[in-house]
Structure 1
Amino acid sequence: MDRWAYGKNSGFSIRCIKDSETLTLPSVTTKSISGISQNSATGGGEITYNGGASVTARGVCWNTTGSPSINDNKTSGGQGIGSFVSTLDGLTAHTTYYVRAYATNSQGTAYGNEVTFTTTEIATTGTFIDERDNHEYRWVQIGEQTWMAENLAWLPAVNPSAAGSDSDPYYYVYGYDGMDVLAAKTSENYPVYGALYNWPAALSACPTGWHLPSDEEWTTLTTFLGGEDVAGGKMKEPDTAHWVSPNTGATNESGYSGLPGGYRDYYGTFVNIGSYGIWWSSKEHTPVTALHWQLISNFSNVNQGDSSFNEGFSVRCVKD
């Protein structure tokens, strides 16, 4: 190709060439922390710009001193821009952590804003006396709620399993089929599992300062424990001293100490001790049924159901 010199007043065609893009670190922000428990939490971030190069790694990093980096604890949340969620595991109870989202491209690693959170305390526990019968109960604080850590044992009367009512209060002790309260209290199951109550009895069974939990209060509990799919294991007493094998997922991390007290079914039969723990809520579901929550030996979840008013379930009270 020949080169020629022309005057500045000559007119020629023009072809443009694109400017070179300057590569930079990605732009990333850190999401607030949620789902905080004693040993885990949920975080994440959002990458809004890749810096002109592919984001090859992203996640969150954390420590207990501040300005965390990928040389500290970290999660791996995939690649590319956009939002992501990460679970922080292996945390220590009642400890403050510092968290930053990160994103890595060919230019290095960028960090988002720093956020902090504190894991929950190991369950706070105590005891109180029910002045009606001087029975002592253990309690546990779970999140912002205070729950009985054992089944209610208030027994002003006792009925055989074959007797039932949808409207009048009826009280039962699993395996006892008489009407003698003192005999019922010395029977095998009462000291461990407490009493069973039909729904009319359950509504007024809790001592002063405590009440039968609403369905919303049950939901608050299970949500705090990570949701229904995993909360059951955190609520069940571990091992098989009371639960039949396999007692799936049982850790009692919450301190709820759920026991399989069985129940009196619709037909007036005591069933499923060792396999099921079922507790009433105060929520009427239909004109003849109310909502309950249950734990089962071979599942790690907790689930809600509804049953006839005349069935006999355990009661756990929650503090006013």
Structure 2
Amino acid sequence: MRLSTVILPVRRWSQGGREVWRRAEELGFHTAYTYDHLSWRSFRDRPWFGALPTLTAAAEATSRLRLGTLVTSPNFRHPVTLAKELISLDDISGGRFTLGIGAGGSGFDASALIREGEAAWTPRERADRFGEFVPLLDRLLTHEVVSYEGTYYVAQEVRNIPGCVQRPRLPFAVAATGPRGLRLAARYGQAWVTTGDPKIADTGTPAESVAAVARQVEGLRAACSETGRDAAEPEKILLTGFTPDRNRPLESLDAFVDFAGSYAELGFDEIVIHWPIPDSDFDTDLQVFERIATEGPAQLAG
């Protein structure tokens, strides 16, 4: 099982931001992701920088570490302009970029681009947009010239030359829990991402969470079968911090190995943990975190 991290874009690049990404590479993380939000939850009135410029800088500051978003969504992005930025980032990083992509949430920043007086998108509307967003983005990243006119998006003779360094395009890690999203993951995703079952995040037990994720895995298998794809092909990624046990996996190395082992048994290929941020929901002991990074994967493999 691979171990990756999420580095939230809260640090000025000249005041520790660069060093965190370099340290992630030194510690041996497989991928370092960041959130693609305008701001987020408890960080609403705190520093928060843009995801793609941060990842571009991180690409120059590192040489081996894979980089990615977790996740980008239609809340803030248009497929045409996003595709151009992704091709550029894939080139700058030397083919080290993974696009984590999801339908988007309903947090306060999700309405930042909606006109005053207009209703925020419902879950169904977000799913509808996502269902158009992903296939169009796939086309834009795999064809030199694309024209398209849909319900939500338009592309008129859009050119994306020379395309991605990674072929046929950079990998998608599709975040999904419901049937429609899982079908998109099965069809377009090189990986599938889950944070667990949000319905039991605050009220469930760790065992109930594992059982809920097991049902999601079965849903992915069914979606793969429906699309004629080998169910073992999409990799499975768990973003931690949102299951009922929250930050318990980062309390100690043993706690992490016990937690991650439960999901390894479900066939997960990658576990993602949040880089510590003082005075936040991700305020974790840095020494414990670094020990997990350096010793955790070997213990899981053993």
- Per the TM superposition, whether the score is higher than 0.5 is no
TM-score normalised by the chain length of structure 2: 0.22
Highest RCO, 1 vs 2 (Cα 8 Å, sep ≥ 6): 2
More helix per residue: 2
Flag the structure with larger Rg. Answer: 1
TM superposition score normalised by structure 1? 0.21
